[in-house]
Structure 1
């Protein structure tokens, strides 16, 4: 009889943790982190302090710049000096010679009027000549000004053309095309714009001048002031006759040089001088409260030349000691009618 020997099952092995942090190691890690944190606090404080210092310095620098700009802005433009300065600059800038040496001299002189590092003009074979210039206006733009001049200039430039030439070659007559250059010119009028600054009564052109169209200074259509029928009452026939005689007397003295005599008729005597004759137009006589208003368009004749022009005359007349007297003399209705 066989006995079967049973095998004992193998003992189970307990799984151990792969790694366990000992209390000692944990203390070392904690103390190291704490030391690093303590060490970085002064550094962070120093960096923050430097940042504050830089910010303060930048703020102070900005304040200085703003103060300088403000002082420049408060400096009133001396227009007379600016015109004198620009009166030298405009012809220097607008006259462009084609000669290389003359052009170099021009560039050298221009540099004394302009700020540094501005783009240079292209060199060309053209000649530009300033014909005339006149001041237009000044315009304020923040911390700078723009001077505007009306300039007329002529540009002369070479143009390549072609012509037919006939010539003899032995017994034959031959025609051929021949190219040649001819100088042409054109004139133009523009508004020259010159950016510049003023500092302590001195000037500098701050950018390259540029062209613009000339704006019209003519206002749109508008009606002139007239006396409406209901604005003032007409004087009666008797007063009109007296005022008409007074007006003729005034015109005789107005066309002379006798201020003393006119002072008896007028508060501030105005005369045209010798050689003029004032021809009455169609005067209108109005009542203006206690005063009178005479409106006329006389013809002013210049001696025997035949030359004449019309003037608009408005007289405010008062009574003094029973006589007429011109209190106000004007050439328009401004201030009399709205």
Structure 2
């Protein structure tokens, strides 16, 4: 019986085992490393977004740049049209050299007939075709250039006019009858014809119209004289620009005035390196002039321990003792018990 139970038990176990739910395999598949595909996609979308946004901006900027360039080009062409010259065709140095040569050939008129013709031939070489040259027929003298200075350059549409201030001397030759010494016992006086010269100095503007063609120049119309314009104007005297503002007390005025007298004495006599300890930008007269006196300084407050000084100062020439007055504006500051010049100007119209 026991044997039968033993043999039955394995059979029963096999019978019921077939109905038992199998256990899930607890092993896990290894996790794969995350791919960077998502990050790459984000990066690509960002780049695409930037391209979409930047393209119109770049187009607008390029359009603006093109318009600006076009505007500048048109403006340059307008300026060139207004001033009347292609600046690439004109060289200031060359124009002045050429003009000097023309002035010499035009103003100088030799006394000798053959030399005059040579001068005219030389002058004609500067002229454009069919521009008439001067006539030296029936002259009763000659002309010499004393001095020339390029005064101005007028600009026209297709040419320029060189304006030279010229100082020259006209020499007039006149034939006069003069008595000569008697010869021997002959009582009759003798006369003979002699030439007398009379000089007359003139000053004027000589205007020379010239034109350039690939840096080659020619006189395109007859030169002409005009009066030298006056450069005298009616300006207004520069005055104290801080007049009416707060001035310092009487005690401070005296302290600053005493310092100013010492300062200007040093300024007149010493060298710039000697002023480094009291000036932001050291400068002096280096003994050229001597300081004589202050002329009515006015001292304004410009902050705590800071002042603006407006003053005249009289100086004297060391050689001939000629005196003159100069104006000054000083911005000074009191540091560690002594004054220091932050700014120094030769004018009353400073700050």
Q: TM over 0.5, yes or no?
A: yes
1:87–1:312 CA distance, 2 compared to 1 (3 A):
same
**Match among 89, 94, 105 for residue 102 of structure 2:** 89
Partner of 1:158: 173
The answer as to 2:162 corresponding to 1:147 is yes
**Match among 114, 123, 134 for residue 110 of structure 1:** 123
Partner of 2:199: 185
**Match among 246, 251, 254 for residue 267 of structure 2:** 254
CA distance in 1, matches of 2:241, 2:124: 63
The answer as to 2:127 corresponding to 1:127 is no
The answer as to 2:210 corresponding to 1:196 is yes
RMSD: 3.3
TM-score after normalising by structure 2: 0.65
TM-score after normalising by structure 1: 0.68
Deviation at 1:182, TM superposition (A): 3.4
Secondary structure at the aligned position of 1:211 is classed as strand
**Match among 218, 224, 233 for residue 210 of structure 1:** 224
Structure 1: 5+ residue stretches without partners? 1-65
CA distance in 2, matches of 1:89, 1:262: 52
CA distance in 2, matches of 1:130, 1:189: 10
CA distance in 2, matches of 1:314, 1:224: 15
The 5-angstrom pairing of residues 25-40 of structure 1 reads none
Question: For the Cα contact (< 8 Å) 1:166–1:174, is it kept in 2?
Answer: no
Secondary structure at the aligned position of 2:294 is classed as coil
CA distance in 1, matches of 2:334, 2:213: 59
Deviation at 1:246, TM superposition (A): 2.2
Partner of 1:100: 113
The 5-angstrom pairing of residues 217-296 of structure 1 reads 217-220=231-234, 222-227=235-240, 230-274=243-287, 276-290=289-303, 291-296=306-311
Deviation at 1:288, TM superposition (A): 4.5
Question: For the Cα contact (< 8 Å) 1:283–1:294, is it kept in 2?
Answer: no
Summarize deviations over 1:186-240 as a string: whole Å, max 9, x none. 22111111111234444322211111111000102x3312237853222111211
Deviation at 1:317, TM superposition (A): 1.7
Aligned residue-pair number: 267
CA distance in 1, matches of 2:214, 2:270: 49
Question: For the Cα contact (< 8 Å) 1:243–1:285, is it kept in 2?
Answer: no
CA distance in 1, matches of 2:300, 2:242: 12
Partner of 1:311: 326
CA distance in 2, matches of 1:117, 1:288: 73
Partner of 1:63: none
Structure 2: 5+ residue stretches without partners? 1-76
Question: For the Cα contact (< 8 Å) 2:154–2:161, is it kept in 1?
Answer: yes
Secondary structure at the aligned position of 2:295 is classed as coil
Summarize deviations over 1:267-289 as a string: whole Å, max 9, x none. 11111113532122223232253
Secondary structure at the aligned position of 1:282 is classed as strand
1:175–1:319 CA distance, 2 compared to 1 (3 A):
same
Deviation at 1:80, TM superposition (A): 2.8
Q: Which segment drifts farther, 301-310 or 233-242?
A: 301-310
Deviation at 1:321, TM superposition (A): 4.8
Secondary structure at the aligned position of 1:108 is classed as helix
Summarize deviations over 1:93-145 as a string: whole Å, max 9, x none. 11011323212221222233221211132223331111222221111122211
